[in-house]
């Protein structure tokens, strides 16, 4: 009896953990992050869905930036992409070392929203300049 109850509770909790993302469609998203034409070789990128009205816009998508500047977003499962729609993009400097001539920053919000389109593999390159980073970075180190 106890085993049956524990199993039922476990299945219920597992089912509830899977809920919540069913109503959000995602599409694959990948690209290159560059500064002044050179790959940003470290850090993380986050795509945060923009709320439309008062509803929950969905879960943000994340990716580590690879040494060649490449990223591939994950929202619910590895490399599944991002919620379809408009997003604010944030770059996070997870290490101290940045490419030469790139202004220091801890967090940088890209000043223009990007769109994740349904039904396709979205290649979204994030091309930044030192000037834009200096203007929009959230802190000075």
Distance set, CA 136 to CA 10, 41, 62, 69 (Å): 46, 20, 20, 20
Q: Is the per-residue pLDDT at 90 higher than 60?
A: yes
Does this model's pTM top 0.85? no
Domains of the chain (ranges plus CATH)? 24-136 (2.60.40.1120)
Least confident among 43-47, 84-88, 91-95, 135-139: 135-139
What gap in Å lies between CA 23 and CA 58, rounded to an integer? Answer: 9
Encode pLDDT of 34-47 as tens digits.
999 999 988 999 99
pLDDT exceeds cutoff 80 at 15:
no
Burial class of 40 by CB neighbour count within 10 A (0 to 12, 13 to 18, 19+): buried
Relative to beta strand 29-35, strand 122-123 is parallel
**Average pLDDT in the 12-32 region?**
68
Look at residue 123 and tell me whether its pLDDT is greater than 70: yes
- Which of 52-56, 109-113, 129-133, 136-140 is least confident? 136-140
CA 81 to chain CA centroid, nearest Å = 8
Is the confidence at residue 81, as pLDDT, over 90?
Answer: yes
* Backbone φ/ψ region at 69: left (φ over 0), alpha (ψ -120 to 50), beta: left
Q: Provide the residue count of the chain.
A: 141
């Amino acid at each position: 009896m106890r085993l049956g109850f524990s199993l039922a509770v476990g299945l219920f909790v597992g089912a509830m953990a899977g809920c919540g993302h069913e109503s959000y469609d995602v599409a694959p998203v990948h690209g290159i992050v560059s500064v002044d034409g050179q790959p940003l070789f470290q850090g993380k990128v986050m795509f945060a869905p923009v709320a439309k009205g008062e509803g929950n816009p969905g879960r943000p998508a994340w990716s580590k930036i690879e040494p060649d500047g490449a990223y591939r977003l994950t929202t619910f499962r590895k490399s599944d992409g991002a919620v379809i729609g408009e997003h604010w993009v944030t770059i996070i400097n997870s290490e101290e070392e940045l490419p030469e001539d790139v202004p220091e920053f801890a967090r940088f919000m890209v000043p223009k929203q990007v769109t994740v389109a349904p039904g396709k593999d979205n290649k979204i390159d994030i091309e930044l300049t030192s000037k834009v980073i200096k203007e929009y970075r959230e802190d000075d180190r």
